[in-house]
Each structure stands twice: as C-alpha cells, then as structure tokens.
Amino acid sequence: MIYFITGGARSGKSSYAQKAALSLSDNPVYVATANVMDNEFEERVTRHKADRDERWTTLEEPLYISKLPIADRVVVLDCVTLWLTNFFFKYKQDIQSSLDALKKEVDELDNLPGTFFIVSNEIGMGLHADSEMGRKFVDLQGWANQYIAGKAEKAVFMVAGIPVSVKS
C-alpha cells in the first residue's frame, strides 16, 4: 500500500509520515534519498536523524529504492524531491528519462508487499523558478507527484502541520 504525503517546506510531512509508520510498526524503515552536498545540508540530515529513535532502521539509497530489503516492511521514503533530483542529474536534466526512471521505481514499490509512506514536496506552489533548469524541475516534480498520487491508496496534503486528506 502506498500513502502519499505532500506539502510545502516545513509543513510537517516527515513528522506525519513517521508517526503514521510507528502506528503500524514497532520497527519501521526510513529510506533517505539525499546526497549530502554541503555543511548546511548535513545539519538538516542530522536533525532528521535525531527525530528517529532506536526503533528505526535507516537505509540510504539515492536511486534504486526497490532493490533495498524493504518487502513486507513499513517504510517511510523521504523524499521524492531529492530522489527525483538524483535522477534529473543522472539523466542530464532530461525530463522524460528522469520521470520514466522514477515511475519504474514507483511501480516496483507498488508491486512489493508492504506499506510505503512516500513523502514529497509541492514546489510548484511557490515562486516561479527563475531558470530554465528550475522550471524543468518544477514541471518534473509536478508530474512525478501526480503519478505517485495516482498510485497511492491514500494521499495527504500537509498545511502548517495539519494533515488534509486529498485521497482516501
């Protein structure tokens, strides 16, 4: 089962997903998709890790999440934006190749037994991107979110820490 959780920056997406995962399992898995790029980002990762206690198993994988040992587990995948960024750069900013690769992975996850809380960002609701690459990525993120939401059995939009059900 896929649960899709989306929203803006600092809207409470990760906390919501983690609480939901813990309500279903005493030993959930947290899949981190980020590549740490600088000191500020490393501090963010450290804060995220501090949010999880010894009950969690943390796995790090920038691209091929479906290959991880996560079948029959409760999993928080955090987050699609960073995961998609990894495909976007792997495929040299080719939107279709990046989207196809992400869709293939989502399809593989959908075929695995388990419960997957997939966290993403709604980046298209903010300021208009001021570069061609930025605009391409905003479009890509929107299409990826639509695809995952379509696959999900439930979808939640987080607003100021409040979950709003958009698909149940």
Catalytic amino acids? 48
- 18, 48, 62, 112 from 51: Cα distances, Å: 9, 5, 20, 27
Q: CA 24, CA 63: separation in Å to the nearest integer?
A: 26
Q: CA 83, CA 120: separation in Å to the nearest integer?
A: 9
Q: What is the number of alpha carbons within 13 Å of residue 36 lying toward its C-beta?
A: 12
**How many of the other CB atoms lie within 10 Å of CB of 2?**
21
DSSP state of 121: -
